[in-house]
Structure 1
Amino acid sequence: MKPRTRFVRAAAVATVTAISALGLAACSTDTGSGNDSGPIEISYLHRLPDGEGMTSVNDIVARWNAENPDIQVKATKFDGAATDMILKLETDVKAGKADCLAQVGYSEVPQLFVKGMLEDVADEADAYADDFSAGAFAMMTVGDAVVGIPQDTGPLVYYYNAAEFEALGLPVPTTLAELTSDSATAATAGKYVTAFTPDEALSWLSAQAAAAGDSWFGATDDGWTVDAEGAGSQTVAAFWQNLVDTKQTLVTERWGEAFTQALNNGSLIGHVGAAWEAGFLLDSLDGTPAEGQWRIAQLPDFGAGALTGPDGGSGVAVMKGCEHPAEAMAFNGWFNTQIDDLASQGLVVAANGTPTTSEKLLRQFGGQDVLGELATASSNLNPDFVYAPGFASLTKMNETAAGVGSGSTQVADVFTTAQTTAVATLEDLGLPVAK
């Protein structure tokens, strides 16, 4: 089954035009000949942590190699930053020595494809589509092209301190109205059930717009379309502006000390955050009275039903020039359905199924089946929300959001910044934008 969402062919046509203009060579570095002289050899470049207590990537790959003597895979860990890895991939593709498979962030996929760095493996990918949620699989598509297999996801969920909620008589919010009501009640006790985090505006607010049913990017015969100020974005803006104006949310950077301090002193008792935060969000509470008090719930309904949006995540793409895309995809599809192994790496696995929740998560979340809850969230990703080339440039949203706390900007302004920046970026890339 093909995923429910793909842009119309016009986007693919625009992409192919851009690729032709760039004139990048399609070379391969796979050393296997694919004939009787030996097995096909596939190289895979990744950034997975491979930390202590995790099932190592090399151990997973070794199991594949033992079971598939005709397709041998060599995995290499890239220890630099994600941006550095992208630069390496671009250099290697141009030089004709890129790895056949590489881990890439979902927000990077469209621009890498536009630059001619990724193969279209739509025919090979169809066999694996049913193994993943439609929302995750859509993240590896550009136009009618499919460039690889999703690996992990970052759906938004709701974290909350169950003991504090019970003490205040707060219901676990299932709608924005309930979350608004909880915010008002908690504020009277000097508590916050949410935090507005300007430094996460790009991925965090766009994901909420997706949860509200929006799709920011699409295409027509005239080119890409951008709609970052739709009904969903307006709902999100109004919700947060109300909480900021009434001082019923904690306004702080997500990655600053104030967030952790509020968590530790018990003033922050709820948080709209990405699923991948579960692995470390509560570490500072270990050994304190608050250990084991927190739980995870599905994101409250932002007006579009049981939907959530993507805040991060990555897939494994087939790099341009891979000589054996079918064999590469055979490994790719297998590797990314090894859910317990990948979950041990701290991933919210994109594949269907529920991995076993670790002892650490069971302890920190009071025995809750955390990974089961996150798997449900992954399955609820909005399948119509995908990224466009240059999405990373929308970090200007963070700059606009930085003024929300002081009142120098409004939350709605953040989405206006997204709209104008997205259009300008696509035009700067030489891609047609429908007016």
Structure 2
Amino acid sequence: MNDAVEDITDYVGDSADLFTEWQWQTGVFNDSVYAVPQASGPLGQFYRKDIFDSLGLAAPTTWEEYYEAAKVIRASDPNRYIAAFAFNQAPWLIGLSQQGGGEWFTPEDDAWKVAIDDENTLKVAEFWQKLIDEDLVKLEADMSSEWNADLQNGNIVSWISGSWADAIVRGTAPDTAGAWAAAPMPQWSDGENVSATWAGGSASVVLKGTDHPAEAAEFALWLNSDPESVSILTSVGAGWPAIKDLDSIEALQDDPEVFAFYGGQNIWDVFAESDAAVASTWTWPPLSQTLFADLTDNVKAAVEAGTPLTEAFTQTQADFTAALEDKGISVAE
């Protein structure tokens, strides 16, 4: 925390039951509460159902099915890909690892055990390397001008992203209304139900030294737990609500504009399931922005040089460990 935020345990510590457990825990350290969770970005697949249907494909339920679908989609049109490999998005890459069983950071006494290149992460990296090597995914930055055009013209036909990405799809490709659908994440083993998030989530904190910490904490709690407030936050794209009582959120129950764009589907059912299936053992470390920068730089360099993605994660392991130590943060052997 770099001693920048107040310990608000005395003001909100008895409110944990209002929130999804894993989201609440993101603001807890050493049994003290430092943040009230606001929202997260549980992952799912946004996909062009019309194109999938025309090719006899359903939304992939396993990563093996995803690979097979990628081949069919690539063969259907010389410009068409199942997805972009977003080398610019460390949160996306981390979410894929988390969903694949990666556990990068584990607190051990007063130190952090760092395992960015653990076995499960390398499995995920090798899978995407196969897609890259076989030209089954397009190497381009998501949310770039080129990617926007590809989303509009059907050259990119799916996007694995957080729940908030709904608004980006609708805003980027309005002329494709009715052609999209949402589906859960593909699984590594048939029958599993494991998900992850895009960069964890957002939260409200009280800055250190404020004159009114109790009042600020009370407001943060109201902002992120009152159903009317949460409904407004949800409707403007703040992310998936952190509170447990989803039935109280009007924006999740009836949203004609959103549902119409996705062919009448209530896509929030997908993300409710995804949020409940987030791998809750994941722990976020200090210096997260440094982690994002190191991983983005290393993956981009690997893509540009044509070197294995696995090496990018190994290099990030070394870089981030050094960054922690440079800040005086202990790293466990």
TM-score normalised to structure 1 length: 0.68
1:272, 1:299 within 8 Å by CA — same for their partners in 2?
yes
Deviation at residue 157 of structure 1 after TM alignment:
1.3
Q: CA deviation at 1:334?
A: 2.5
Alignment pair present for 1:294 and 2:180: yes
Q: Does 1:249 align with 2:143?
A: no
Picking from 71, 78, 86, the partner of 1:197 is 86
Residue deviations 1:338-372, cap 9 Å, x none?
Answer: 33122122122222215325333123212222333
On the 8 A contact 1:151/1:350 being kept in 2, the answer is yes
Q: Which has the higher contact order (CA 8 A, sep 6+)?
A: 2
**Aligned residues of 1:135 and 1:379 also touching (Cα < 8 A):** no
SS of residue in 2 equivalent to 1:308: coil
Does structure 2 conserve the Cα–Cα contact (< 8 Å) formed by 1:151 and 1:314? yes
2:68 corresponds to 1:162: no
1:180 aligns with 2:77: no
Quote how far apart the aligned CAs of 1:238 are.
Answer: 1.3
Per the alignment, residue 386 of structure 1 pairs with 283
Poorly superposed stretches of 4+, deviation over 6 Å: none
Shift in Å at residue 322 of structure 1?
4.5
Q: How many Å apart are 1:404 and its aligned residue?
A: 4.2
Cα distance in structure 1, aligned partners of 2:5 and 2:312 = 31
2:42, 2:325 → 1: CA distance?
A: 29
Q: C-alpha displacement at 1:243, in angstroms? A: 0.2
Structure 2 vs 1, CA of residues 412 and 125 (structure 1 numbering), >3 Å: closer, same or farther? farther
* CA distances 1:68-124 after superposition (whole Å, capped 9, x unpaired): xxxxxxxxxxxxxxxxxxxxxxxxxxxxxxxxxxxxxxxxxxxxx1x1011223454
Match of 2:108 in 1: 220
Between Structure 1 and Structure 2, the one with more helix by share is 2
Q: The residue matched to 1:199 in structure 2 has which SS?
A: coil
Distance in 1 between residues matched to 2:192 and 2:323, nearest whole Å: 32
Q: 1:329 aligns with which of 217, 228, 233?
A: 217
Q: Is the 8 A contact 1:350 1:378 kept in 2?
A: no
Q: Distance in 1 between matches of 2:279 and 2:213?
A: 28
Q: What residue in structure 2 maps to residue 15 of structure 1?
A: none
Instruction: Give distance in 1, aligned partners of 2:163 and 2:133.
Output: 28
Q: Which structure is larger by alpha-carbon Rg, 1 or 2?
A: 1
SS in 2 for 1:261: helix
1:121 paired to 2:8 = yes
Which runs of 5 or more residues in structure 1 are unaligned?
1-112
Q: TM-score, normalised by structure 2?
A: 0.88
1:142 paired residue number: 29
Unpaired runs of at least 5, structure 2: none
Report matched runs for 1:27-426 at 5 Å.
113=1, 115-122=2-9, 124-190=11-77, 191-200=80-89, 202-221=90-109, 223-286=111-174, 288=175, 290-303=176-189, 305-312=192-199, 313-322=201-210, 325-337=213-225, 338=227, 339-348=230-239, 349-352=241-244, 353-354=246-247, 355=249, 356-357=251-252, 358-394=255-291, 395-426=293-324
Partner deviation per Cα, 1:314-350 (whole Å, 9 max, x = no partner):
1001222356555543432232123312212212222
Contact 1:235 1:302 in 2 (8 A): no
